[in-house]
Structure 1
Amino acid sequence: MQPHSNNSDKKPADRLLKMPGKFDRGPVDFKSRPADYEGEIMTIATRNVVTAQRTTPIIQAVEIMTREGFRRLPIIDAGTRHLRGIVTVTDIIDFMGGGDKFNLVQVKHGGNFLAAINEGLREIMTSNTITMPVAGSIGDAVDIIVNRNIGGIPITDPEGTLKGIVTERDVMKVLTTEHSNRKAEDIMKPSVRVTSPDTPIGKVCEEMIKCRFRRLPVVVDDVLCGIVTATDIMNYLGKGKAFEQLTTGDAAEVMGAPVRSLLSGELHTITPDRNIHDIAVEMIQRRVGALPVIEDSHLVGLVTEYDLVKAFAEE
């Protein structure tokens, strides 16, 4: 298995970024049966997908996702490559203390985090996975992302074999060929839930799962000092920093550390009058999923990959 980024910058469709005008998302006339041809979605999808099995230990999956910079890992049968589910960064945050999957730690293992992370992925993965057929269009992917709020879509053939994966970022790269007159203030989420630097990591996990967020700005006295993402929290585990907190192996030690310990020194922001095309290009270049919107040194909103895909799709 060759590691390959689900957000690779070397896909054939990347040349579309240099093309003027709209990307043609109209129907294509194929002569063969739908099961036999590949649709346009495969021109932007990652084909060489890094995967795991239901028996793969949770910690091993976290390490793979951390190393490769993934937010999701499809789960397949080793022999047939039939898709069985997916584990996402949200599933990991849920397991680390955010929601019902934390029961694996608290109930089954009596709070012993070290024991729980060696369980198989079948314990926390999402089984009812939303997929796309290989014959699908980019328009189909946009519909799933916008209407189902799904950030990554596995692509399967009629037998259920995994053939690729397409992400919000892949779709955004294609849509950014279309220029727009809209600005950050037109599409941003204006009422942003925030947290403080001293909030325990476990509490941040709970907030993310409860509110279905993947990121929370960290604010002191109304001034933004960082942004913590679900991926940052997963990386805390995947890079081994969580284990530096351990003396007994109890989950409370892992999740009791303040969120300030996850913040990096880098903080990139945008202003409300920034054009959304420029924002999309910056996000792709920086490989980030959101940018905070700042006005007069205060946080006034957040623009995410989802917001951009939705905005460009509406144009």
Structure 2
Amino acid sequence: MSIHNKKKSATQMNMKVRERLNSHTKNVQKKNPHLFSSDGLLDVGPVDFDAKEAKHPGEILTLATGDVVSIPPTTTIMGSIKTMTSKGFRRVPVTDAGTKRLEGIVTSTDIIDFLGGGERNRLVQEHYKGNLLAAINAEVREIMQHNVACADFSAGIDEVITTMLDDKTGGVPIVNKDRRLIGICTEKDFLRFIAGIFTNKTVGDYMSTNVTTISPDATIVDAARIMVKRGFRRLPIVRDGVLLGIVTASNIVQFIGNGDAFEKLITGNINEAFDEPISALISKDLVWTSAEMDLGDAANLMVDKNVGSLPIFDDGKLCGIITERDFLKAMID
């Protein structure tokens, strides 16, 4: 695509996104007219979120989830895993139990880092001598991220997308001026937002063609290490050029949360659980597409099938992958 055509398609996509934003704003206005002035614009007057005066709400609140599940820092690591698996979350904000001020966040990647993928695994090895049962009862503050990328509730959409891309994070908590948690915005929220919009941009324009894959014979801990080292949340599982499935960080977290990992334990050592082949965790219901699909249609497919990525095939061969993060790049390109 020429530079001129790319600029033209970007403009068209942005116009359609703004049209949907205006529609969302009107819906929010109907639900809570106190947030808006009579002309439909965001009210610059005070808005009461936490019984305190605050700045006017930004457009990000039209996308963000407002009823946020959070946990206190004294929650056990197993407790955070249970919260993730029961709610289907990839991240959970950690807040002060009394004030609800944001103190950190724990993600599925932090969990697999702790379980053997990276530096956090030192807690298991050094403090608990590799004993999984003891380690998962440590407090989540031991492994959570303390310096959390977050957004003020008056932020605009472009500002939040830039924050997420710069910090390479899949979601940002939304806070008020006192850093009290009032919402969260994730890649999936943006995916839903553009689902079905004709963008005039294709999957091929934004997919990654250098795809890191893993063998089905590799162990769970092998996959965890690759994910943590490379900053991935998912890995295609390939044998002899054939895509067998995709394993995600959430699959590994669920392996703990649903109790399957504990069935592998004999002495309690973490290696007994995570030396299992990764093929045991394969997501077998594959959803894929071609490079020619419009981004809006691809987003719609991902939302409909509840997947965070799409493998791209050309003549029956895996030639790329597009993830939720790639859609963020397209939105500000």
TM-score, length-normalised on structure 1? 0.89
8 Å Cα contact 1:89/1:230 also seen in 2: yes
The letter for the 2-side match of 1:74 is P
Identify the residue that residue 118 of structure 1 maps to in structure 2: 137
How far, CA to CA, are the matches of 2:282 and 2:142 in structure 1?
Answer: 29
The letter for the 1-side match of 2:18 is F
Identify the residue that residue 3 of structure 1 maps to in structure 2: none
How far, CA to CA, are the matches of 1:109 and 1:68 in structure 2?
Answer: 28
Identify the residue that residue 32 of structure 1 maps to in structure 2: 45
Which of 193, 202, 207 is 1:188 aligned to?
Answer: 207
What does the per-residue CA deviation read over 1:125-147, in whole Å, with 9 as the maximum and x for residues that have no partner? Answer: 00000111111112211211233
The letter for the 2-side match of 1:248 is T
Choose between structure 1 and 2 for higher RCO, CA contacts under 8 A separated by at least 6 residues.
Answer: 1
Shift of 1:177: 6.0
What does the per-residue CA deviation read over 1:19-71, in whole Å, with 9 as the maximum and x for residues that have no partner? Answer: x9341679x66433793322121122111111111110101110110111100
TM-score, length-normalised on structure 2? 0.84
SS at match of 1:23: helix
Identify the residue that residue 163 of structure 2 maps to in structure 1: 144
Select the structure of larger CA radius of gyration.
Answer: 2
8 Å Cα contact 1:289/1:305 also seen in 2: yes
Identify the residue that residue 236 of structure 1 maps to in structure 2: 255
Which of 241, 253, 259 is 1:222 aligned to?
Answer: 241
Which of 18, 21, 26 is 1:23 aligned to?
Answer: 18
What is the root-mean-square deviation in Å for CA atoms of aligned residues? Answer: 1.7
Shift of 1:213: 0.7
Shift of 1:294: 1.4
What does the per-residue CA deviation read over 1:149-169, in whole Å, with 9 as the maximum and x for residues that have no partner? Answer: 221110111111101101111
Whether 2:272 is the aligned partner of 1:253: answer yes
Which of 293, 296, 301 is 2:312 aligned to?
Answer: 293
How far, CA to CA, are the matches of 2:182 and 2:160 in structure 1?
Answer: 15
For structure 2, the 5+ residue unaligned runs are 1-14, 23-40, 48-53
Aligned length: 294
8 Å Cα contact 2:237/2:247 also seen in 1: yes
What does the per-residue CA deviation read over 1:67-97, in whole Å, with 9 as the maximum and x for residues that have no partner? Answer: 1110000000111001100001110010010
8 Å Cα contact 1:138/1:171 also seen in 2: no
Whether 2:288 is the aligned partner of 1:269: answer yes
SS at match of 1:36: coil
